[in-house]
Amino acid sequence: MKIVFVGILGLLLARSSLAATSGCEPMNLLTARNSPFARIPVMDQDGVGLCHAYTAAQLMNFQLVRAGRDPSVHPLWGGVKLAEANRTATVQVGDVPSTVHHILRRGNCPVARIRAALERLVRLGNAREIDVVGIIDRFAHQVYLRQAQEYRLRQTYDLTDQELQRLLRRAVAEQEDHCESGTLQELIPELQNLAVLRSPQMLSNLLLPECQGNLESLALPRFESHHQVPTEEWSQRISETLQRTGSPVGISYCSRFLLEPDHVGVTDRSDPARPQTNPECGPHASIVVGQRPSGTQCQLLIRNSHGNGFGPETENWRCLCRHRRSGAVVDDCQKSTHDDGQYSVEGCWVDGNRLNRNMLQTNWFEASP
Amino acid sequence: MSMSKICTLIIFYFLSRLAVAGPCEPFSGYTIKEQLCWDDQLKSWLSESCLKKKCEARAFLERPAPKVTTEAPVGGQNPATLFCHTLKLPVVILRDARGNEQSFCTFKDGSLADPNAIERHIRK
C-alpha cells in the first residue's frame, strides 16, 4: 500500500513539474546559429538612467540585423527623441514602447553619425577622449542630482541657465584636476551653447550637425507590449513570445531582485494598470534572450546593459559566458569559478517564478508575416 | 643577508607579480586604445602601466576602502559605476576586442580600474 501511495505521489509531482515547465523548450538567441547578437555587443549604460533606450536599441537592432542590415540604433538617440517629444527636462525618464515609437516616427540617426558627433568634441578640446567623456559624464550626473533634488523640493526638473552654467564650470574644473593635457576651458563656450536650459536640448544640439539630413527610416515588424498580466503568468507569456517570434523580449521589472532573488518588487496588482511597487524596486528595463527548464520551473536568460563583467547583479545567478580569446561559450558560469579575466558575461539565467513577482511590462516585435 | 637570499627574494617578488597578472587585452573608445590587464588577486582589470609601476588604481584597491554609500540606482543605472561617480572618478566606457562595452573608473594619474572591483572593495 505504501509503495502505491509513494508511486501516485511521485506521478503527481512529475506531472506538476511537467506542467510548470511545459512550453519552456530550451532556446538561446545568444548562441543560436547566425544569431544577430553576434553583431550586437553587450552594452553598458554607466550612471545614466537610459535603460529604456538601451532596451529599445537592442530590440530594434536585432530586427535590423535579422533583416540583413547593420545594427544602426544608438541608445542616446532614442533617449533624446523621447525627451524632446515629452518635453521632459531630462533624458533619464522614459519607457520602451514610446522610445521605439519616436525613433520609428522621427527617423533614426545612424550610430556612426552619433559617434562622429561625440568625437568632434574630443578634437575641439584637444583632449583625451576620457577627459571629454568625463566632462559630459560629470556634467550629466550633476544635472541629474540637481534635478532630483529640485523635483523633491518643487516637483519640477527645470534648472535655470545660471545653475546649468555653474554645474558645467564645476564639471570642467573637476575634470581638469584629472587631466594631463588639453585645453578643457576651450570647451566651455561650446558646451554652454549646447546646454540650452535642458540636458536633452544639449544632447540634441550636440547631435544635430551630424544627424540633420542623415535620418533613416526603419521598416520593422509590428511592435507590441503587455502590462496587465497576472503575477504567476508573466514568465509563461515571455516564454510564449520568445518561441513565437524568435526575437528577444523587452522586460520592465524591479531590478532589486537581481541583487536579492527573493525580493518582491510588485506588492499590489489589484489595479492592473497601476501596479504598486516596493520603494526598493529599482525599475529597470532589459531584454530576455533565452529560456530553459530548470527543476520544476522555467529559467529565463536576461541580457542586461551593465557591461560584461561579474558585477553585483550577477553574483546570485548562473550566467552564460564567452571565453575572451577563443569565443567558446561556457554555460552556467559563476563568479566563484569564472571571475578570472578569461570570460565575459553575456547574460544570466534567472528563475521565472522570482521574475514574476517583479514584472511590470513586456514588449517585443511581432514575427514578420 | 647573503647575496643569494636577496636574489631569491627578488625572483620570488617577480614570480608572485606574474602569478596574479592575468590576461591583457586592448580596449578601445572613440579615439583611444588602452591596454588593460586582469589582476587575479584584486579581481580587477587595471591599466597595463599598473604592472610596471605604482598607480592610483591599484593603490586604491590595495588600501582599506573608504566608507562610501551611493544613491539607489534610477532608470537602470549601473550600480557599480555609481561608486565611481560618488568617489568623483570619471567613468569611461570602452569596448573590448569583441566589441562589448565595459565601464572603467579613471584615477587622477590616468590609470583605470574595474568598477565591479571598486564596488566589491567598498562593500567588503
Which residues make Cβ contacts (< 8 Å) with residue A353, sequence separation at least 6? A235, A297
User: Quick one: cell of A20?
Assistant: 510548470
* Predicted local distance difference test score (pLDDT) of residue A183: 65
Cβ atoms < 10 Å from Cβ of A297: 17
Which residues make Cβ contacts (< 8 Å) with residue A179, sequence separation at least 6? A127, A128, A131
DSSP of B50-93: HHHS--HHHHHHHSPPP----PPP-TT--TTHHHHHHTT--EEE
* Predicted local distance difference test score (pLDDT) of residue A15: 46
- State how far residue A310 is from chain B, nearest Cα, in angstroms: 7
Mean pLDDT of A311-335: 95
**Of residues A133 and A327, which shows the higher confidence score?**
A327
* Predicted local distance difference test score (pLDDT) of residue A303: 98
Lowest-pLDDT choice from A167-181, A187-201, A349-363, B104-118:
A187-201
* Predicted local distance difference test score (pLDDT) of residue A13: 47
Torsion of CA A112, A132, B60, B9, to 10 degrees: 70
Coil, helix or strand for A318?
Answer: strand
- Of residues B30, B38, B98, nearest to A129 (C-beta): B30
Residues A307, B101: C-beta atoms closer than 8 Å = yes
The number of distinct structural domains making up chain B is 1
* Predicted local distance difference test score (pLDDT) of residue A196: 38
pLDDT in tens, A104-122: 999 999 999 988 887 777 7
Q: Which residue from A326, A329, A285, A282 is spatially nearest to A305, judged by alpha carbons?
A: A285
Enter the ipTM.
Answer: 0.84
Q: Would you call B64 an interface residue with chain A, using a CB distance cutoff of 8 Å?
A: no
Given pLDDT bands bounded at 50, 70 and 90, which one contains residue A7? low
Which contacts of A154-158 are long-range, i.e. CB under 8 A and separated by 24 or more positions? A156/A89, A157/A88, A157/A89, A157/A90, A158/A89, A158/A197, A158/A198
Given pLDDT bands bounded at 50, 70 and 90, which one contains residue A12? very low
**How far is A131 from A129, CA to CA, in rounded Å?**
5
* Predicted local distance difference test score (pLDDT) of residue B77: 86
**Of residues A359 and A21, which shows the higher confidence score?**
A359
* Predicted local distance difference test score (pLDDT) of residue A102: 96
Mean pLDDT of A82-90: 79
- State how far residue B124 is from chain A, nearest Cα, in angstroms: 12
Mean pLDDT of B79-87: 90
**Of residues B3 and A239, which shows the higher confidence score?**
A239
Tell me, yes or no, whether B13 lies in a domain: no
* Predicted local distance difference test score (pLDDT) of residue A186: 67
Residue from A306, A319, A339 whose CB has the most chain B CBs within 10 Å, to mutate: A306
Given pLDDT bands bounded at 50, 70 and 90, which one contains residue A207? confident
**Of residues B44 and A6, which shows the higher confidence score?**
B44
Q: Would you call A310 an interface residue with chain B, using a CB distance cutoff of 8 Å?
A: yes
* Predicted local distance difference test score (pLDDT) of residue A339: 95
pLDDT in tens, A153-162: 887 777 777 7
* Predicted local distance difference test score (pLDDT) of residue A39: 96
Q: Which run of H or E residues covers position B104?
A: strand B101-106
* Predicted local distance difference test score (pLDDT) of residue B1: 60
**How far is A42 from A168, CA to CA, in rounded Å?**
30
* Predicted local distance difference test score (pLDDT) of residue A251: 98
Mean pLDDT of A354-367: 96
* Predicted local distance difference test score (pLDDT) of residue A18: 45
Tell me, yes or no, whether B84 lies in a domain: yes
Mean pLDDT of B67-73: 85
**How far is A2 from B34, CA to CA, in rounded Å?**
69
**Confidence check: pLDDT of A173 > 70:** yes
Tell me, yes or no, whether B102 lies in a domain: yes
Tell me, yes or no, whether B117 lies in a domain: yes
Given pLDDT bands bounded at 50, 70 and 90, which one contains residue A278? very high
**How far is A55 from A283, CA to CA, in rounded Å?**
13
CA angle, corner A56, sides to A325 and A151, nearest 5? Answer: 115
Amino acid type, A48: V
* Predicted local distance difference test score (pLDDT) of residue B19: 46
Residues B72, A322: C-beta atoms closer than 8 Å = no
* Predicted local distance difference test score (pLDDT) of residue A19: 44
Tally the C-alpha atoms within 13 A of residue B4's C-alpha that lie toward its C-beta. 0
* Predicted local distance difference test score (pLDDT) of residue B26: 95
Q: What share of chain B is helix, strand, coil (3-state, %, to 5)?
A: 35, 25, 40
**Of residues B112 and A142, which shows the higher confidence score?**
B112
| Structural domain of B44 | 22-123
User: Quick one: cell of A60?
Assistant: 530594434
**How far is B92 from A99, CA to CA, in rounded Å?**
25
User: How far is residue A284 from each of residues A92, A355, B36, measured CA to CA in Å?
Assistant: 12, 12, 30
CB-count exposure of residue A239 (10 Å: 0-12, 13-18, 19+):
buried
* Predicted local distance difference test score (pLDDT) of residue A164: 75
**Which of A157-166, A261-270, B26-35: highest mean pLDDT?**
A261-270
**How far is B85 from A158, CA to CA, in rounded Å?**
22
**How far is A359 from A96, CA to CA, in rounded Å?**
14
Cα–chain center distance at A328: 25
Mean pLDDT for chain A? 85
Which residues make Cβ contacts (< 8 Å) with residue A67, sequence separation at least 6? none
Tell me, yes or no, whether B33 lies in a domain: yes
- State how far residue B51 is from chain A, nearest Cα, in angstroms: 15
**Confidence check: pLDDT of A123 > 80:** no
Mean pLDDT for chain B? 86
Residues A119, B110: C-beta atoms closer than 8 Å = no
**Of residues A312 and B7, which shows the higher confidence score?**
A312
Tell me, yes or no, whether B3 lies in a domain: no
Given pLDDT bands bounded at 50, 70 and 90, which one contains residue A321? very high
Tell me, yes or no, whether B66 lies in a domain: yes
Cβ within 8 Å of B, A 240-269 = 255, 259
**Confidence check: pLDDT of B18 > 80:** no
- Compute chain A's Rg from CA coordinates: 23
Given pLDDT bands bounded at 50, 70 and 90, which one contains residue A125? low
Residues B25, A324: C-beta atoms closer than 8 Å = yes
Q: Would you call B119 an interface residue with chain A, using a CB distance cutoff of 8 Å?
A: yes
Q: Which residue from A56, A140, A137 is spatially nearest to A103, judged by alpha carbons?
A: A56
Is the C-alpha dihedral spanning A28, A251, A232, A356 positive or negative? positive
Given pLDDT bands bounded at 50, 70 and 90, which one contains residue A25? very high
**How far is A30 from A320, CA to CA, in rounded Å?**
9
Chain B residues inside the 8 Å CB shell of A137: 85, 90-92
Is the C-alpha dihedral spanning A87, A88, A91, A96 positive or negative? negative
CB A304 within 8 A of CB A250: no
Q: Would you call A315 an interface residue with chain B, using a CB distance cutoff of 8 Å?
A: no
What residue spans of chain A are helical by DSSP H? Answer: 2-21, 51-66, 75-86, 96-106, 111-124, 129-154, 161-178, 187-194, 199-211, 234-245, 256-259, 335-338, 352-356
Task: List b or e across A216-232, with b for residues whose CB sees 16 or more CB atoms inside 10 angstroms.
Answer: eebebbebeebbebeee
Mean pLDDT of A55-77: 95
**Confidence check: pLDDT of A21 > 70:** no
